[in-house]
Amino acid sequence: MWSTIYIGLAIICLQYSNVNALDNGLALRPPMGWMSWQRYRCITDCDTYPDECISEWLFKNATDRIVEDGYKKAGYKYVIIDDCWMEMERDPNTKELVPDRKRFPSGMKALADYVHSKGLKFGIYEDYGTHTCMGYPGVINHMELDAKTFAKWDVDYVKLDGCYADIHDMDKGYPEFGRLLNATGRPMVYSCSWPVYQEEKGLMPNYEALKKHCNLWRNWDDIQDSYESLNKISDYFAVNASRIQPHAGPGHWNDPDMLLIGNYGLTVDQSESQMAIWAILAAPLLMSNDLKNIRPEFREILINPQVIAVNQDELGIQGKRLKVERKIETWVRPITPVVNGLHSYAVAWASKRDDGSPYATKVKLSDLGLTSAKGYKITDLFNEENVLNDVYNVNHNISIRINPSGVIFYKFTPAE
Ligand SMILES: *[C@@H]1O[C@H](CO)[C@@H](O)[C@H](O)[C@H]1NC(C)=O
Ligand SMILES: *[C@@H]1O[C@H](CO)[C@@H](O)[C@H](O)[C@H]1NC(C)=O
Ligand SMILES: *[C@@H]1O[C@H](CO)[C@@H](O)[C@H](O)[C@H]1NC(C)=O
């Protein structure tokens, strides 16, 4: 049943994305990169925190680490500045936005050049309203100038936040800024925060419009550095899936917010759980961490090629949470290869249990919606040493054992 629904959906998505979705040729897979906010917030005191303040060095160092430590090779591409990069006032003569003179002494074009010289892409943050969330100038009265300024600086990705704005103006204002970005002639990924501000005030966002004007959009709360916050966000995407899931596809993605992996709040098991669920959700993979000091076990999770391949699957179908039983969540996503008309599936079992030992259970393949009469090959995506050589019939019960707050992540490929 699942596969029939999903083949139908995939066809609708493919047809749809050509007609009714933003067609700037960008973000055909969920964007991957690094963004400052989750780890570095609005630290602006470079005298006290020279290695953590929002400054050109922070982004240059992150660029170097991404290139030299294997993240670029794994697919991470965008280096994105979040809030707190500006002077409090626009240039009095030109009215242009001005990067903080002390923290970005070389200016944004030079920083973009640096990022580009390493083969990566450069992203920046602004806000649709009168001010950014941290009080710096917003775009609302200077939209054309700001779009042109970003193009002049060779920006490749714009995140437009929605603080200090009227949520009713956003249906017009965000598309307008998108048109102005387009009019510059420079392709820039456009990340919109418009639905989260509307939905938090009880106004249902217009997803057809979002898809037409934005490459990705933040649906819900900001993620915070805790397992509790991660669960709140994944619950939102699970429970509201029927409303949200159909709108994702190549060029237009739901964004559950940044990866916490490598920071303070998640254990290794919980980090695998976020990576697996973000892969199922076809979510942007935006790290926000200290790559200079990251522990190797977190780096391994972030660059896992098999898990990234699920996230970046070319069909771009967002997966769903299928069920929750005894605090074990089953998440399922149809992916390639499609064999004799049947999808492969990525399946994550995320444990929300806290009773000490790993939880053992059996899963029948047909209960996951798997239907291939010839059975399935199984790959354990996090644990290469767990080689499952057989072809498993859909009536077979596989045994799994999931660590408390951990995940088991398998790929099922229909046998030829
Ligand atoms: C970060 O960048 C600054 C300025 O370029 C440099 O002095 C410093 O050594 C870098 N730190 C690391 C750990 O790469
Ligand atoms: C602008 O929009 C047109 C029409 O959707 C599209 O073909 C073109 O690639 C866009 N250009 C840029 C720079 O985004
Ligand atoms: C589903 O979305 C609504 C907002 O529209 C939210 O209030 C609700 O909490 C969401 N469900 C979950 C489980 O997050």
CATH at residue 400: 2.60.40.1180
- Annotated catalytic residue, options 69, 169, 171, 222: 222
Q: For residue 11, what pLDDT band results from cuts at 50, 70 and 90?
A: very low
pLDDT confidence of residue 389? 85
- Report the pLDDT averaged over residues 27-42: 98
CA angle 73, 224, 189 (to 5 degrees): 45
Whether the per-residue pLDDT at 128 is higher than 60: the answer is yes
Residue 5's pLDDT band, with cuts at 50, 70 and 90, is very low
End-to-end Cα spacing for the chain: 20
SS3 23: coil
Residue 15: its pLDDT value, please? 42
Residue reference for tokens 């926000």: 288
Burial category of 284 from C-beta neighbours within 10 Å (exposed 0-12, middle 13-18, buried 19 and up)? buried
Q: Give tens-digit pLDDT for 86-119.
A: 999 999 999 999 999 999 999 999 999 999 999 9
Report CA(23)–ligand 2 centroid distance (Å).
6
Amino acid in position 93: N
The answer to whether residues 324 and 265 belong to one domain is no
| 125: pLDDT strictly greater than 90 | yes
Tokens of 321: 């949470």
| Residue located nearest, by CA, to atom 4 of ligand 2 | 23
CB 212 within 8 A of CB 22: yes
CATH code of the domain in which 183 resides: 3.20.20.70
Residue 57 in contact with ligand 1 by CB distance below 6 A: yes
**Same-domain check for residues 118 and 77:** yes
Could you identify the residue written with the tokens 């699920």? 310
Verify that 367 and 391 share a domain, yes or no.
Answer: yes
**pLDDT at residue 13 above 80?**
no
| pLDDT for 92 | 98
| Secondary structure class of 336 (helix, strand, coil) | strand
Q: Do 150 and 254 belong to one domain?
A: yes
What's the structural domain count of the chain? 2
Verify that 192 and 122 share a domain, yes or no: yes
Return the pLDDT at 16.
44
Same domain membership, residue 349 and residue 206: no
Domain range for 360 is 320-414
Asked if residue 373 and residue 304 are part of one domain, the reply reads no
Candidate of 19, 24, 158, 212 to mutate for ligand 2, largest count of ligand atoms within 8 Å of Cβ: 24
Q: Are 37 and 77 contained in the same domain? A: yes
Give residue-wise pLDDT tens across range 344-403: 999 999 999 999 999 999 999 999 999 999 999 999 999 989 989 899 999 999 999 999
The answer to whether residue 14 scores a pLDDT higher than 90 is: no
Among 311, 344, 367, the domain boundary falls at 311
Region 58-64: what's the mean pLDDT?
Answer: 98
Alpha helix segments (H runs only) across 153-252: 170-183, 194-200, 207-213, 227-239, 241-244
Domain boundary among 256, 290, 311: 311
Q: Read off the pLDDT band of 148 (50, 70, 90).
A: very high
If you measure from the C-alpha of residue 186 to the centroid of ligand 2, how many angstroms do you get, rounded to a whole number? 9
Domain shared by 259 and 356, yes or no? no
Q: Which of 311, 332, 351 is the last residue of a domain?
A: 311
- 235 catalytically annotated: no
Query: In this structure, are 243 and 362 located in the same domain?
Result: no
Token pair, residue 52, equals 């953590």
pLDDT at residue 1 greater than cutoff 60: no
What tens digit of pLDDT does each residue of 149-179 get? 999 999 999 999 999 999 999 999 999 999 9
For residues 207-213, average pLDDT: 97
Instruction: With beta carbons less than 8 A apart as the criterion, state whether 190 and 214 touch.
Output: yes
pLDDT at 3 over 60: no
**Does 82 participate in catalysis according to the annotation?**
no
- Cis-peptide into 334, omega within 30 deg: no
Give the other-Cβ count within 10 Å of 416's Cβ.
10
C-alpha span between 108 and 89 (Å, rounded)? 16
What pLDDT score was predicted for residue 19? 61
Question: Is 230 in the same domain as 262?
Answer: yes
Mean pLDDT of 132-144: 98
The answer on pLDDT for 7 being more than 90 is no
- Clarify whether residues 296 and 325 are in a common domain: no
